[in-house]
Amino acid sequence: MKSLLAPLGLVAFVFALLSALLLAAGGEFGGELVWVFGNLAVGILLLAAGLAANWGTWRDRMRSGEAKRAGKYGTSALLSTLLGIAILGLLAFLANRHEKRVDFTEAKVHSLSEQTKKVLADLPGDVTVTALVPALEAGPIRDLLDRYAYESPRFQVSFADPNARPDLVEKFKLQPDQLGNGVVHVESGGNGVDVTEIAEDKLTNALVKLTRTGQKKVYVLQGHGERPAEGELANQPDGLGLAMTALQNENYAVEPLLLAQKGAVPDDADVVLSVGEDKPLLPEEKAALEAYLQRGGALFVAIDPNTRSGLEPELAKWGVEVGNDVIVDRVLAVFNRATSPFSDEYGKHPIAERLREKTLFHMVRSVVPNEAGTQLFTELVKTGRESWAERDMTRFLDQGEAEAGDEDLAGPVSVAVAGTPAGFAAAAEAKDGEKPATPRLVVFGDSDFVTNQMIDAGGNRDLFVNAVNWLLGDVEAISIRPNQSRASRLRQLTAEEFLRIRFLSLFVLPELIAIAGVYAWWSRRRAPGR
């Protein structure tokens, strides 16, 4: 048994060195230091005990020719081991200095969205981020902030435990109820924003608020049965609460607009939204919208099937035909509901060309450029090839029947267009040295896709926000928002559990395997006949 002491001591000593190198390369020291020093002490003791217990045997071998052979092969093995340790240490050092991230998840939930990468690439100056997070909560937050720092050297991150740094809590004027799961203070150009709900969309929104100069104004038409955009009704399934929050996250100011009361679209309006009217606009209101476009305004219109907003004649004059029909698709539909089609094709336009996920509509009508708008509008979204626009609305509404016929519009069917409205050439002329303003118009044949109930389905949110970005001229903001993880049976590990698993996999299990190998070698040497 005494011949087993030295090999076990060598295993403990080697793993102490390996553990120290790995920890040094990672830059993190914690409870593992006890393991390193414990291994080192046990290794030295076992080596000393093995040398003392086998001194006579080793002395005799040193005097024989066997010692030279053992020394030769032993030296070679020792040098090979040391070289292997050096290579591992060098690789760990290089991996720490030159980080390369690869995300193998299906939805790329461990990667930053394209929008966030754009914001980071366009940072005008340094951004200082201080994460006041309790130690046990720091793991996932550190991982998220590291992704930002990896994308931009201007994103500078530091961590602190709020319990250990009350001076920072006082400096940032944080309240105790804000410190529950941590606070990230983002600062740039002398201004700061506190992020208490630490997620990618919230952090990116904070960066946008700090770096985007000026705030653009979005007005939402009210008073004609539109989808509610404010108050308690906005949070109902058919409300626009989430859609309005999405615009505010882009640093846009959102306000309701009662056009009949105002008499005209306010001068500070950068875009006007008309979403789901089921009552006709007054002639004076339509004239106000036309005057707004005449001076280079931007208008978003979403009209549901079998409704009359009164804007149909104006849209036709501007180059857009909104069909008196409903799209039917028995192949590419939600839960086989033929009137709830998925989109199947996107047009070559900044609003839609980067979308990858299908968008979902509920009771949508056709929207296509007419003869006046052929050269001015781009078809944004089309339904599937097996779909059609059912134009026999009497039979559809009274009997619930729909069959593709010669009078129907065959798929793929356009349900949204974007472009410059016809008849507003004068708006492109510069006035008093001002920058020329060209009116913009986006029309959808459905308003359900923007409601709370449907905005998070597929690419609906991106399609809506991108449309408003384009109308406002924020083409650089058009992108795909933060990735959402899909349902999983695996629960999220806590920071403590992750550290425990890492400790077992990197330190404990490899050493146990090495000890088992040494014992197997020793047993075979003692076997009869050896």
End-to-end Cα spacing for the chain: 16
Pairing of strands 377-383, 388-390: unpaired
According to DSSP, the β-strands at 252-257 and 216-221 are: parallel
Distance CA 114, CA 479 (A): 6
For residues 311 and 205, the model is more confident at: 311
Question: Locate tokens 């201080």: which residue?
Answer: 130
pLDDT by residue (tens digit) across 314-367?
999 999 999 999 999 888 877 678 888 888 789 999 999 888 888 999 899 999
Greatest mean pLDDT among 398-407, 424-433, 463-472 lies in 463-472
Do residue 338 and residue 422 come from a single domain? yes
Burial of residue 420, with CB atoms counted within 10 A of its CB: 0-12 exposed, 13-18 middle, 19 or more buried: buried
**155 Cβ contact list (under 8 Å, min separation 6):** 120, 123, 127, 129, 148, 149
What DSSP string runs through 192-240? Answer: EEEESS-SHHHHHHHHHHHHS-S-EEEEEE-SSSPPP-SSGGGGSTTS-
Same domain, 193 and 229: no
Query: Is 194 contained in some domain?
Result: yes
Amino acid at residue number 522: W
Average pLDDT over residues 177-190: 80
Looking at residue 293, its pLDDT comes to 94
Could you tell me if 144 and 77 lie in one domain? no
Query: pTM of the predicted model, to two decimals?
Result: 0.64
Q: List the domain range (segments joined by +) for residue 414.
A: 215-477
> Does residue 251 sit in the same domain as residue 389?
yes
Are 183 and 330 in a shared domain?
A: no
Residue 275 has pLDDT above 70, yes or no: yes
Mean pLDDT of the chain: 81
Please name the residue that has the structure tokens 């679209």.
265
Residue 209 lies in a domain: no
Mean pLDDT: which of 77-81, 193-197, 376-380, 498-502 is highest? Answer: 376-380
Q: Are residues 142 and 234 in the same domain?
A: no
Domain boundary among 173, 200, 227: 200
Q: Of 200, 231, 251, which marks where a domain is finished?
A: 200
242 and 358 in one domain?
yes
CA 449/CA 447 separation, integer angstroms: 6
Higher per-residue pLDDT: 197 or 88? 197
- How confident is residue 432, by pLDDT bands cut at 50, 70 and 90? very low
Least confident of 152-156, 158-162, 478-482: 478-482
Strand pairing report for 337-341 and 271-275: unpaired
Q: Are residues 416 and 383 in the same domain?
A: yes
Residues 454 and 315 in one domain: yes
- 448 Cβ contact list (under 8 Å, min separation 6): 238, 304, 361, 362, 363, 364, 454
pLDDT (average), residues 389-416: 87
Distance, in Å, from the CA atom of 137 to the CA atom of 492, rounded to the nearest integer, reads 12
pLDDT at 60 over 70: no
Asked whether residue 339 is assigned to any structural domain, the reply reads yes
Higher pLDDT, 449 or 430: 449
Q: Write down the pLDDT at residue 414.
A: 95
Question: DSSP secondary structure string, 271-318?
Answer: EEEEE---SPPPHHHHHHHHHHHHTT-EEEEE--TT---S-HHHHHHH
Q: Lowest-confidence range among 199-208, 380-389, 424-433? A: 424-433
Check whether residue 37 and residue 67 sit in a common domain: yes
Report if residue 422 sits inside a domain: yes
Alpha-carbon span 346 to 379, nearest angstrom: 8
Q: What CATH number corresponds to the domain at position 122?
A: 3.40.30.10
Question: Can you spell out the DSSP letters for 407-465?
Answer: TSEESS-EEEEEEPPTT-GGGGS--TTPPP---EEEEES-SGGGSTTTTTSTTHHHHHH
Give domain status of residue 495, yes or no. no
Number of domains in the chain: 3
- Among 200, 225, 242, the domain-final residue is 200
Let me know if residue 501 belongs to a domain.
no
Query: Does some domain include residue 485?
Result: no
Q: Is residue 247 part of a domain?
A: yes
Claim to verify: residue 305 and residue 436 sit in the same structural domain: yes
CA distance 287 to 495: 60
- For 105-137, what is each residue's pLDDT tens digit? 555 556 788 778 888 888 888 889 998 888 777
Q: Mark whether 19 and 67 lie in a shared domain.
A: yes
